[in-house]
Every structure is written in C-alpha cells, then in structure tokens.
Amino acid sequence: MLVIQFLMVGQRMLPAGIRLFAVQSFLLAGIAAVTAYSHHVPEVYLVAGLTLAGKVIVLPWFMLRLVRQVGIDQEHRPWLNAPSAMLLCGGLALLSYVVARPFATAEAAGAHTFGVSIALMLSGFFLMINRRRAITQVLALLCAENGVVLAAISLTVRGMPVVVELGVFFDLFIGIVVLSILVYRIRETFSSIDVDQLNRLKG
C-alpha cells in the first residue's frame, strides 16, 4: 500500500492515479479479510466488503467517469515535481515509523503496520497540498482515509465498530458525490478546476 502511495505521488495522469487508488483499496480489503479470518472477527468482513465494493469498484468508476466528462486527465503544475515529492514522502514514511515505534509491541497485533498507516495519512495530506486539481485532492483525501482504516484494523484487530464504519463510509461516499458534482459544474462554468484560479475569484 505504501509503495502504491509513492507511485500516486509521482503520477500526474488522473486516470492512472484513480486506478492506483483502486489497487491500494483492494489491498486494504485483503488485509481486512485476512485479519477477520485469522482472528475470527466476522465484523471485519463487513469492512472488507465495504472497501471492496465502494473504493475498488464504485468510487473509481464514478471518478473515471467524471474525468472523462470534464476532459482533463493530467495534473497541472504541482507545487513540487515528482522526484522532490517522492523524496519528501520518503521522509514522512521514516518519521511515521519513528512515531509508531512505541506502539509496535507484542500485545498489539499488527501494530507494526501502524507506521504504514501514519505514512499513508501524512502522504495523503501532502498530496492534497501539492496538487492543484480538485479531483486529485479528493483522491488524496480517500488515500488518507485508507490510512485511517488500516490504523483501526492494525491496532484494535476488530477494527472500528461496524456502526462507526458504516457512518464514516456513507458520509465519505456522499461527500465524494457532492464534490464530484461541484467539480463538474465548476469545469462547465469556468473551464478550469485549478484551485489556484478558483481562489483568485472575487465576489
């Protein structure tokens, strides 16, 4: 998942980035399913199923359709170029492992993956800052949320309570749908989805 995150940081083509997110989410669903099987926690199967259905199939399809509609399939002038961005994310990954080291105890099953989950969250937030396209920023938010789910599964084994997971997933899905509609409308009105240009709009 972390390697795929690095590939997303260096990827400027939006369709490729969306497909990489789908692969990352598929791996997350696999981790949840293995955790549910090995620790005999059937509730985590629901997390795996939601991730597989929503983040591997529905959301990538929806976002790829949106990219085709707006007709913009490449990121435009990120703040940092790909080598610098990947180097910075490598530093964030090292920092994440240092922060997660106190949690890597034998009592917390799977706690060694906590460093990966922190790295996913930090690099997701960095991707939101570094990119100018609204679609890429939505994708970065989804990647950070993958890190949150991985942390919940890794540290608690049982993952987040099912009701909480359902609520978070539903809110996230509705938010992505609303943001996608806004992106399409902004593109139709201003012929751009560059957030820098939108910030310069005056009322």
pTM of the model: 0.79
For 6-102, list the strands marked E by DSSP.
none
Q: Which residues of 115-147 are buried (b: 16+ CB within 10 A; e: fewer)?
A: bbbbbbbbbbbbbbebbbbbbbbbbbbbbbbbb
Reported as a single tens digit per residue, the pLDDT across 58-93 is 888 888 887 887 777 776 677 788 888 889 999 999
| pLDDT of the residue at 176 | 66
Q: What is the pLDDT of residues 172-198, one digit of tens each?
A: 666 666 666 666 666 655 555 555 555
- In this predicted structure, what is the pLDDT of residue 21? 93
Backbone phi, then psi, for 200, in 5-degree steps? Answer: -85, -5
CB 121 within 8 A of CB 147: yes
DSSP 110: T
Tell me the β-bridge partners of 133.
194
Which tokens hold the place of 93? 């990954």
